[in-house]
Amino acid sequence: MRRALLLLLLSAVFAVSARAEESRHFTFRYEFTVRNITPGERVRVWIPLAHSDQFQTVKMVSSTGDLPLKKTSEREYGNEMLYASEEKASKAEYHFTVEYDVVRNERVVPLSGTPHLAAAKLSERERQRSLEPDRLVPVTGLPAEIAAKEAAGRSTDLERARALYEYVFRTMKYDKSGAGWGRGDTLWACDSKRGNCTDFHSLFISMARSQKIPARYEMGFSIPTDKHSGEVAGYHCWSDFYLKGTGWVPVDISEAWKHPEKHDYFFGAHDVNRVQFTMGRDITLSPPQQGQPLNYFVFPYVEVDGKEFSNVATRNSFADVSSGTAVASR
């Protein structure tokens, strides 16, 4: 009997390990044009950069632009970027392209309750920042009241986080009609009960932080699962929450909503069909922009004569390196 139980346990561990080894290899092209500049105006451009970590290996194949590019990074989250400027614009349009080679690994965190020997440790600074509010992500008021109600009677942070995940999944609708969505405004999400990934995960992060569960916000792009090359529309964001003894636990509630058959999978996993660029909210760039901190940073940010400039046309695309690469998580 004991031997049978041991074999069953080993089989489960092997299955988890096998899933965690799934990966997707693709190229990613990040391209944009700044349009209708008046010659003589001061132009400044910041371009977010994808980065390598334990879940993705990123190689910048090339970076080209109509202005010299300098690599910088901001202090709070360590987000990397390219910066370009011209004191007096010499042309009406500026074009930039960054090309990457990316291997994205599936990220699965077993939630058995057994402490992980390699669990990431949070510094006091990281913990504090992961519990603080952002401008549109409060940790008091209505989201805190909802979180307290949903977490009532739960004895562990894992159980509380799962209850908050279920609340967002159950009450929010993925709906990008009308106005208001996409800003990651928790209070708007509480009222409207709809939005995109930004709104889903802002609500989750507000509630988690209100329960003293560290949570963080991550930005990037989804890679289509039904094709091997093509354009990448929009952006995608997701979240992590922190468990002592386990480390950062991935969640993707908006993907779970769009694919309810993966509802359980996306509590504790991120699939291979994504590339991460930046982390955090209320971002001060490097060198600092003259405008307000950025709500989030995934598209290029441009200032002309010290003011945000929105006439920027973006076009992102991808191509799988091998047609045999998996394009759908299990």
Give the residue numbers spanning the domain of 192.
Answer: 110-271
8 Å CB contact between 318 and 27: yes
Q: Per the structure, how many domains does the chain have?
A: 2
Q: Look at residue 6 and tell me if it is in a domain.
A: no
Nearest C-alpha neighbor of 163 from the set 109, 198, 213: 213
CATH number (domain holding residue 291): 2.60.40
Do residue 146 and residue 263 come from a single domain? yes
Q: Look at residue 224 and tell me if it is in a domain.
A: yes
Q: What is the pLDDT of residue 5?
A: 39
Q: Is the pLDDT of residue 143 over 70?
A: yes
pTM above 0.85, yes or no: yes
Least confident of 77-81, 115-119, 161-165: 115-119
User: Could you tell me which residues are beta bridge partners of residue 270?
Assistant: 107
Do residue 246 and residue 260 come from a single domain? yes
Q: What is the pLDDT of residue 37?
A: 97
Please report which confidence band the pLDDT of residue 201 belongs to, taking 50, 70 and 90 as the band edges.
very high
Alpha-carbon span 315 to 31, nearest angstrom: 5
pLDDT tens-digit profile of 27-46?
Answer: 999 999 999 999 999 999 99
Task: Output the average pLDDT for the chain.
Answer: 91
Please report which confidence band the pLDDT of residue 116 belongs to, taking 50, 70 and 90 as the band edges.
low
Give the rounded percent of residues in the chain with a pLDDT score beyond 90.
86
Please report which confidence band the pLDDT of residue 127 belongs to, taking 50, 70 and 90 as the band edges.
very high
Q: Which H helix or E strand runs over 254?
A: helix 253-258
